[in-house]
Amino acid sequence: MEDLLVDGHGRRISDLRVSVTDRCNFRCQYCMPADGLPWLDRTAVLTFEEIERLVRIFASLGVTDLRLTGGEPLVRRDFPRLVGMLSRVEGLDDVSLTTNGYLLERDAAALVEAGINRVNVSIDSLQRDRFFQITRRDSLPQVLRGLDELAKHPEVHPIKVNAVAIRGFTEQEAIPFAEFARSTAFQVRFIEFMPLDADHAWSADQVLTGEELRQIIDAVHPIEELPREPSATARVFRFRDGTGEIGFINPVSEPFCSDCNRIRLTAEGKLRTCLFSIHETDLREPLRSGATDADIERVIRDAVWRKELKHNVGEPGFRQPPRSMSAIGG
Ligand code: SF4
């Protein structure tokens, strides 16, 4: 294997998140406006073959974990075929998916057969009306059917349910989600609301911290922390009575940048070295203008070497990225 990919801070980069589309069938309040966003022209979006070639180059540089995101990846036509192509890339240990779950009932079997081994499903409320309130879609029953369909495939593990935590909304969801984690095989995690919304309306006082949620849950269902995995984003706790796990991803109140091993590729081929990057590196242009794999590798190494040490959310001088979460992917 080539020299492994490391950044200028000595961190080994082994986790690549690829957004396969900027399009989505939901309109989550904390992500995009009710009318959606101007979507990328289809010719601007990387083809399956282009994604496969880039993933192969990244894998040759030591990337072992690949997460497929969007927008909503399942709205991309023939997506399971792309999963199959990527699952065959040498060097990858893990191919996972982040989805809103709406099309999971339809696609679960095909995705598993194609090689998906871990899935995160984004669900912000287990109450139908409140789910509708935050996603602007009356789709909770459909999403839960998708989860159940996926759970029929034991080779997909773990299956995680991610809920964005917003002050004034998620406090009421804490115990229902804790009881969901205790009564199912799904691991629930709360993610602090981040300044990546298309409306740029985020403010620190809207962030309900992981610690606050932990206290709400611990008061009813006592929990204890499990050891943290290297480069993990979540602090994971188990219920003291042994029935399940629950996690907290606290990028705002407890940043976890020091051992970050993640980089991202947008749907149109921009390399983002941090979720909050202001600068991006275009890989599509060299890809489409005859660059060799070695040329593209040099561009990647150079960009990764300049990877940001950390985000500076909440610090003076923080600039929200112009690109919203729907166009970055989780
Ligand atoms: S904010 Fe950036 S540096 Fe920090 S963990 Fe996320 S991607 Fe890594």
Q: Which residues have CB under 8 Å from 83's CB, separation 6+?
A: 68, 95, 97, 111, 114, 115, 116
CA distance 290 to 65: 27
**Per-residue pLDDT tens over the stretch 232-248:** 999 999 999 989 999 99
What is the Rg, in whole angstroms, of the alpha carbon atoms belonging to the chain?
A: 19
- CB burial of residue 222 (10 Å; 0-12, 13-18, 19+): exposed
* Ligand 1 in reach of 39 Cβ (< 6 A): no
Q: Which residue has the tokens 């309900």?
A: 208
Ligand 1 centroid to residue 273 C-alpha, Å: 8
**Per-residue pLDDT tens over the stretch 65-110:** 999 999 999 999 999 999 999 999 999 999 999 999 999 999 999 9
Query: Which of 13, 256, 275, 315 to probe ligand 1 with, by most ligand atoms within 8 A of CB?
Result: 275
- Closest residue by Cα to atom 5, ligand 1, is 257
Angle between the N-to-C axes of helices 210-220 and 174-183, in degrees from 0 to 180, rounded to the nearest 10: 60
Domains of the chain: 15-328 (3.20.20.70)
* Ligand 1 in reach of 260 Cβ (< 6 A): yes
Which atom from ligand 1 is nearest to the alpha carbon of 264? Answer: 7
- pTM (two decimals): 0.96
**Per-residue pLDDT tens over the stretch 292-322:** 999 999 999 999 999 999 999 999 999 999 9
Task: Provide the pLDDT for residue 2.
Answer: 54
How many Cα atoms within 13 Å fall on the side-chain side of residue 259? 7
Mean pLDDT over the full length of the chain: 96
Side chain identity, residue 118: R
CA distance 264 to 275: 8
* Ligand 1 in reach of 17 Cβ (< 6 A): no
SS3 57: helix
What is the percent of the chain where pLDDT is above 90? 95
* Ligand 1 in reach of 257 Cβ (< 6 A): yes
> Mean pLDDT throughout 249-258?
97
CA distance 196 to 208: 16
Ligand 1 centroid to residue 310 C-alpha, Å: 6
DSSP labels, 244-263: -EEEEE-TTTS---TT--EE
pLDDT interval class at 196 (50, 70, 90): very high
Phi, psi of 23, deg, nearest 5? -85, 150
Task: Provide the pLDDT for residue 3.
Answer: 82
**Per-residue pLDDT tens over the stretch 43-70:** 999 999 999 999 999 999 999 999 999 9
Beta bridge partners of residue 271, listed in sequence order:
265, 281
Q: Which residue has the tokens 């601007």?
A: 44
